[in-house]
Amino acid sequence: MQMSRSLQQLLIKALSQSMGVPTMVKIARKLFRNYNIYERAGWPENIPLQSFHAAEQILSDVMKDEGLLVQFVTILIDVYQNGLMGTKINIKYLPQILTELEAIGLKYDPELETFVESKRDNMSKGWRILEEGKMYEFCLLRIDIVENSRLVREHSREIISETYTDLRNIVKLFIEKRNGRIWGWEGDGGIAAFYFKDKNVNAALSAMEILLDIFFYNMFKSKLNESLKVRIAIHTGQCQFSRDIKGMQNDTLRVLEALEINHTLPNTITLSPSVYHDLGRKLETFFLPIEIKRGHYIYRYQLIWEDVPGEK
């Protein structure tokens, strides 16, 4: 993501005109642990560094990693709204900064407390901020159609094409609703990714919504002579980002694949322990622990039709 000259100048002015150097350093340390402004600027610590030059140096360091710009502005918004270590700070030029970011396709979402792509018809796999080949922490969701080969054999090409297109649209709707991205789709299923705040919760909720929508799809719209069934698995971990999902191979993806193929039943969702333990107590109650070997658990969700007491 290319930062315009006007955006650079606005950020430098926002820092230098809103706070002193010590406060700037505290903000920078939210991105860079043990950040030393004098060391970074090559400036003697016994000589005071002017706010403008400190702001220039911090922004220079932020710009070295494209993914940090959004995080940095998000921090500025948080400081403006909530203060820093009990001190209220009025960040100048913040509206203009947000306008500049929106002009390049990024809009701040107060509910998610992060930036999302403002042009929904041109969403990128990396949210316009991730760098090719760099490692990030993702929550990954894998969905697969049960008995795909048999369905293709037993139904017409037109019905299969329509059904599978409908499924992809359902998945896309609920993945993107929670700021996820579909990374790859091969007709009978695909892989989606979540990256920002509450990524594990968002992945789990998206999967639950997908499963529920497929249930209603089977009841009211499907042209198959049977119910469309899927398996969904979710795992979180480090993964090297690539716009070409076929070129991505690492332990996180391998665990996700094994979780879906070996441990996920039709019309269920399976979570790895790392996802489950990040959900919070209320959401955890929807998932049943399944012991796959002594002391090792996965967590399963499925829709269950229950009779209402008193009704027949």
* pTM as predicted: 0.75
Alpha-carbon span 84 to 27, nearest angstrom = 8
pLDDT at residue 311 tops 60: no
Give the Cα separation of 150 and 181 in Å (integer).
29
Q: Which amino acid is at 257?
A: E
Going by CATH, does the domain composed of 135-302 fall within 3.30.70.1230?
A: yes
Which among 32, 35, 10, 33 has a CA at the least distance from the CA of 22? 35
> Are 259 and 299 in contact, with CB atoms under 8 Å apart?
no
Determine the pLDDT at residue 75. 94
Q: What is the pLDDT of residue 68?
A: 83
Q: At what angle do helices 51-63 and 21-28 cross, to 10 degrees?
A: 10
Percent of all residues in the chain with a pLDDT value above 70, rounded to a whole number:
95
State the pLDDT at residue 201: 97
Quick one: three-class SS letters along 73-135? HHHHHHHHHHCECCECCCCCCHHHHHHHHHHCCEEEECCCCEEEECCCCCCCCCCCCCCCCCE
Scan for tokens 């955890």, then name that residue.
Answer: 284
Question: Which comes out higher in pLDDT, residue 83 or 245?
Answer: 83
Segment (H or E) for 233: strand 230-240
pLDDT in tens, 254-270: 999 999 999 999 999 99
The pLDDT tens digits of the residues spanning 151-195 come to 999 999 999 999 999 999 999 999 999 989 999 998 889 999 999
What is the pLDDT, as a whole number, of residue 279?
96
Q: How far is C-alpha 280 from the chain's CA centre?
A: 18
pLDDT tens string 197-223:
899 999 999 999 999 999 999 999 999
Least confident range of 63-67, 171-175, 233-237: 63-67
* Helix (H) and strand (E) counts in the chain: 12, 9
Q: Supply the mean pLDDT for the chain.
A: 91
